[in-house]
Chains A and B, each alone.
Chain A
Amino acid sequence: MTLTSDPPVGKTGERPETGAGPGADELTVVAVRRPWRWAAVAATAVVLVQFGHGLVTNPGWEWDVFAQYFASEAILRAVWVTLQLTFHGTVLGFALGVVLAFMRLSASPFLRAVAFGYVWAFRSIPLIVQLLFWFNLAYLYGELSIGIPFGPGFFSFDTVGLVGAMSAAVLGLALHQAAYAAEIVRGGVLSVDGGQLEAAAALGIPRLRRLRRIVLPQAMRSILPNAANEIVSLFKGTSIVSVMAIGELFYQVQVVYGRTGRVVPLLMVATVWYVLLTTALSVVQHYVERHYAKGSTR
């Protein structure tokens, strides 16, 4: 028994036409018919239209309530708080992440171990648990002081004043973000060909300049898509700080529907804001990536 089939036996003298035989310019190309693809398209289209129809006609969505709150002052202020949390979390998180990444890449086993330990710890602790810890910092350490360990302190802070709810949230988000940013930056740096650093060193280019001018711009190509993912997830993740009663978007929406009972349209308010801002971020990402793609194509 054989798994391959014999070539079909045609009538004697009838050969399959090969190549551009006589009359090649009269040949037309006929694409393979794909009936199932058309069936799938039709089915998907029906579902989409039904969903769209429901969105418009089902009174449960309460679009009038949506319109009333979408751009209301309380919601706009909450959107602003969300943006601030995202911005500070990202900037501080990535700044610390870059430091941690280079610690992990350094020649010092001590620095490597500390950075490794940091990443390990902050990736293991759920963000919400960490946030609640910071929020309750005042309970753990009434006063923070900077000085020699076990020795005299030089400065001291009152933690209640230092770590307000908003700072606790930013701190928590940034420390959490730093662990992920560190790995993303480290991955990006490792993706740059070692010959680049070597060539730069052979030219006598100073170390910091080598990183800033030669390595990081090339690392950016693999850092950016991952970083954008992280920023988007941080942006949506800010909703988690609603547990700390901070007036960000999701908290504010909950407050409003708690008062009015209009849950669905207010969830839609939050959803549309999140979608709009994520879209804006994707557009920015597109242009930033294009900038760093310089010289990458023929």
Chain B
Amino acid sequence: MSAALTTPPAAPAVPKVELRGVRKSFGSTEVLRGVDLDVAAGEVTVVLGPSGSGKSTLLRTINHLEKVDGGSVSVDGTLVGYRRSGNKLYELREREILRRRTRIGFVFQNFHLFPHLTVLENITEAPVSALRRPRREAEEAARKLLDRVGLADKETAYPKQLSGGQQQRVAIARALALEPGLLLFDEPTSALDPELVGEVLDVIRDLADGGTTMIVVTHEIGFAREVADTVVFMDEGRIVERGTPAEVLDNPVHERTRAFLSKVL
């Protein structure tokens, strides 16, 4: 396990991720209506919520794929996408945003592997072009990652030659290749056939056990119960409930949480 993926021994006071009053609208629809969220280093936070409640949008604001309209997002105590000077927020230059993004891994629901590149090229592309690692070194690291997600024999395959579960494991290896301190998963198993869900969750569980900080949007309640340190329930652009898995999943306080859980359980 590389150093970047382990928790520093003395947990700093600053949370790994800190959202304060985050707002976001698309046209006239307000998708995020003031979200506050803290994620401590080394912690696994699972985000639950009905479709359209703003879970994906929330994740996307954390690596600035989506600009916020109000509030602030910080990772490692640094604002995402902006530089603060006095009372003003200056939008960062593209290059600076990209540099910060390399410290955050993002895994998409539909994998979004690059179809014209082999598995190995998919994984080495970002380390080579964004971090300027020598290709040889990046390939060696990529092979280790493939081994870790159980796909050591697939390095020359193209994404379309793999099953959905294998593609998603490659996508996870691709995100890990940047040695990010934070991993964001947006419904990583929702596009998979039921029998393939397990193999992907196993990989994510391993990463959690290794102490990687992550935020996972998922509908897999069993996984949330087992792996999450914190479970967050979102509805209509707000976090309505937050607590340990036992609190949120077994004794939900909020009516809407109960209604949602009764549907997915």
Contacts and interface: CB of A to CB of B under 8 A. Distances in A.
If over half of A's interface residues share one DSSP class (helix, strand or loop), that class is named, otherwise mixed; here it is helix
Contacts of B174: 203
A203 B101 contact: yes
A214 interface: yes
A200 B101 CA distance: 11
B4 interface: no
B65 A203 contact: no
B118 A295 contact: yes
Contacts of A200: 114
Contacts of B178: 203-204
B129 A199 contact: no
A294 B116 contact: yes
Interface of B: 63, 65, 94-95, 98-99, 101-102, 104, 106, 108, 110, 112-118, 125-126, 129-131, 158-161, 174-175, 178
Contacts of B110: 195
Contact of B108 (A199, A206, A213, A292): A199
A205 B98 contact: yes
A298 interface: yes
Contacts of B118: 295
A297 B115 CA distance: 10
A193 B130 CA distance: 22
Given A196-B112, A196-B114, A204-B98, A295 B158 contact: yes
Contacts of B65: 198, 201-202
A205 B159 contact: no
Contacts of B126: 203-205
Contact of B159 (A204, A292, A295): A295
A204 B101 contact: yes
In order of increasing CB-CB distance, the 10 nearest A-B pairs are: A295-B158, A199-B112, A204-B102, A203-B126, A204-B130, A202-B106, A195-B112, A204-B98, A204-B101, A209-B129
Given A202-B63, A207-B94, A295 B115 contact: yes
A156 interface: no
B101 A218 contact: no
Contacts of B106: 199, 202-203
A206 to B, nearest CB: 6
29 contacts: A195-B108, A195-B110, A199-B112, A199-B113, A202-B65, A202-B106, A203-B125, A203-B126, A203-B130, A203-B174, A203-B178, A204-B98, A204-B99, A204-B126, A204-B130, A204-B131, A205-B126, A205-B129, A206-B95, A206-B130, A207-B94, A213-B125, A214-B125, A217-B116, A292-B116, A294-B116, A295-B117, A295-B158, A295-B159
Contacts of A72: none
B87 to A, nearest CB: 27
A296 interface: yes
B160 A218 contact: no
Contacts of B125: 203, 205, 213-214
A201 B101 contact: yes
A59 to B, nearest CB: 56
Interface in A201-227: 201-207, 209, 213-214, 217-218
A196 to B, nearest CB: 6
B129 A198 contact: no
A259 to B, nearest CB: 54
A297 B116 CA distance: 10
Nearest to B131: A204
Contacts of A209: 129
A203 B101 CA distance: 7
B241 to A, nearest CB: 28
B98 A206 contact: yes
Given A203-B101, A206-B98, A213 B129 contact: yes
Contacts of B115: 218, 295-296
Contact of B102 (A193, A199, A203): A203
A295 B115 CA distance: 6
A209 B106 CA distance: 19
